[in-house]
Structure 1
Amino acid sequence: MKIIKTINQDYELIDLKDGYKYERIGGVLIKRPDSNAKGTLNNPNIEQQLDAEYIGEVGKGNFITHRDLPDNWMVNMNDMHLRIKPSSYKHIGLFPEQKVHWDYVKDKIEASDKPVKVLNLFAYTGAATINAALAGASEVVHVEALKQLNNWAQENSKLSNADHLNIRYFQDDVISFLKREIKRGNKYQIIIMDPPSFGRGPKQQIWKFQDNIDELLSLSAQLLEDPLCLIISTYTPSVNKDALYHTLKKHFNQTDIETYAMVLEAVNNKRLYCGVGGTINFK
């Protein structure tokens, strides 16, 4: 288990109750649904203190504001400046539990005495991309299927003063991209991936974790050269740390494979399960 405590004043997990989490993000107190949230509120009065909350079924609802709030705002994390934008899918553009992986990658890059190329797959709004670039990666390749998320990632890069660094952005289906990279002979020292349970590529290519994870890992293995690490995280409900370990072991004959639950710890010490992660340490 990797426990991620309150990160800084720009992100705090405040409290949990059955089905909901309460977070302070960039000074804004919000309530969002989360099926992994359990318990009762320590402070029931928090409901009257909310700045915004998500109302309705996930994917069909929206955020309702209780204060005069902008449509988006900023947070500062790990030397990155990231824009927060609440969406109809309850997401905000940030998964703070990923800090455990940002720190891991940063340490790997800073400890290397050789240039490090990083490939970030299912790259979302770019925090892992920017983190690797700021840590000193010689090149970071960012692959994300959705145009709006790629645009958001590039905006985050500018806000973090990383837009002058060697980051290349691709709007592409991950499997198709990996196959072309193999043909091109490109190699990487670090691969980061955050595959969803289900997704679609730009040409409506279907991604299903259970159907496609083996191909993803097999292709990724062919792109590693003088590798430092591979990092994976998933929020797929049917995948626990043991299942992820055995999946990684099939494709990487490494003894240094670690898989774990990712857990955010609230300021009141309650804990929220946030999926599973895994690292393969080659050096």
Structure 2
Amino acid sequence: MDLITLTGEPWADYGLLDSGHGRKLERYGKYRFIRPEPQAMWAPASEDWHAHGEFLPAPDDEGGGRWHFHKPTPPEGWPLAWEEVRFTAQTTPFRHLGFFPDMAPVWHWMRTQIADKPEAECMNLFGYTGVGTLALAAKGARMTHVDASKKSVAEGKANAALSGMEDKPVRWMIDDAGKFVAREVRRGRRYDGIILDPPKWGRGPNGEVWKLEEGLPGLIADTRKLLDADSRFLFLTVYAVRMSALAIGELVRQSFGDLGGRVECGELSVREEARGLKLPTAIFARWSRG
């Protein structure tokens, strides 16, 4: 299986300005932030970084780190846009800013997979604040958005309102992803596309414990039962784990090989504006009809 790279390019409201020495400098609208980035092992293009804030990492037993602000930023967040999707960015305790910009090429790819399928039925597992959900809903997909966090689902609904998409057919589900998928299998449901972005570790709304290495094979097996010969795609991303793209690619290939089509795997990356180099961010595996 050949490895491929999907690269996120800068857009009006986001860009990776520079990276190096274990950090990255990004722009989110009119604000700039510095965050840790272990993959940036090279030297930065410039040593003179100016930012509104920086996330300073710390051990997990000390809370994992905190933001240090050099200039005022809105604590309630500020609006950004990706194509027709509008959403709120804000500095979170988890070091990110409420969405994952490296997913932009994935949003584009999923849209192409359902372009000729009116009212495609799609599901976003571990859907977070719903930018990917709205990227598909904007093109006519009927969406099921699943996340165990009430706060994240509320933010997803708020982003739908900000985008003027309150009337789009989206089921906003606060649920444990594994249990929800298992119930959908028992109900005999089917989908045209599924995107899943599972965390390394997490808890469901009722205290369910999720560990990626233990839970992923069963989850992939269940998502296969929700797709059929007329389905279009599955896209899996994995962050921050010691796992190979080839490993998750083979997992998807064995589960989806009977559907035909194509299985691919590789890395997500973001292109740095300073030099054009690609900063790797995650690994992925995907199945598509053709």
**TMscore range, shorter length:** over 0.9
Q: Is the 8 A contact 1:2 1:100 kept in 2?
A: no
1:86 maps to 2:100? no
CA distance, structure 1, for counterparts of residue 186 and residue 47 of structure 2:
58
Tell me which amino acid in the other structure corresponds to 1:168.
Answer: R
Quick one: which of 5, 29, 33 aligns to 2:32? 29
Instruction: Supply the RMSD in Å over aligned alpha carbons.
Output: 1.5
Contact 1:16 1:270 in 2 (8 A): no
SS at match of 1:54: strand
Identify which of 257, 263, 284 aligns with 1:277.
Answer: 284
Given candidates 37, 42, 46, the residue that maps to 2:45 is 42
Query: Could you list the runs of 4 or more consecutive aligned residues of structure 1 that deviate by over 4 angstroms after TM superposition?
Result: none
1:218 has 2:206 as partner:
no
The one of 68, 74, 80 equivalent to 2:72 is: 68
**Alignment counterpart, residue 262 of structure 1, candidates 262, 268, 276:** 268
Offset of residue 88 of structure 1: 1.6
| C-alpha deviation, 1:115, in angstroms | 3.2
User: Retained in 1: the 8 A contact 2:24–2:37?
Assistant: yes
Q: Tell me, yes or no, if structure 1 residue 104 matches structure 2 residue 105.
A: no
Please list, as runs of the form range in 1=range in 2, the aligned pairs for 1:221-236 lying within 5 A after superposition.
221-225=224-228, 226-236=230-240
Name the counterpart of 1:51: 52
- Is the deviation greater in 233-242 or in 89-98? 233-242
Pairing of 1:113-262 with structure 2 (within 5 A): 114-137=118-141, 139-225=142-228, 226-253=230-257, 254=260, 256-262=262-268
SS in 2 for 1:238: coil
Does the aligned pair in 2 maintain the 1:17–1:40 contact within 8 Å?
yes
Matched, 1:20 2:23: yes
Paired with 1:110 and 1:32, the residues of 2 have a C-alpha distance of: 36
Letter in 1 for 2:217: D
Distance 2:67 2:83 in 1: 27
- Partners of 1:56 and 1:209 lie apart in 2 by 23
Q: CA deviation at 1:27?
A: 1.5
Please state how far the C-alpha of 1:38 moved relative to its aligned partner.
1.9
> 2:113, 2:288 within 8 Å by CA — same for their partners in 1?
no
> Which whole-Å CA distance do the structure 2 matches of 1:104 and 1:75 have between them?
21
Task: For 1:31 and 1:92, locate their aligned partners in 2 and report how far apart those are by CA, in whole Å.
Answer: 11
* Structure 1, unpaired ranges of 5+: none
1:203 Cα deviation after fit: 1.1
Summarize deviations over 1:238-271 as a string: whole Å, max 9, x none. 2222111111112111351010111111002232
Measure the CA separation in 1 of the matches of 2:72 and 2:176: 39
Q: How many residues align?
A: 279
Offset from partner CA, 1:193-243 (integer Å, 9 cap, x none): 011111111111111111111110111111113211111111142222211
8 A Cα contact 2:249 2:263, kept in partner:
yes
Q: TM-score, normalization: structure 1?
A: 0.94
Task: Report the TM-score when normalising by structure 2.
Answer: 0.92
Aligned-partner residue type, residue 41 of structure 1: P
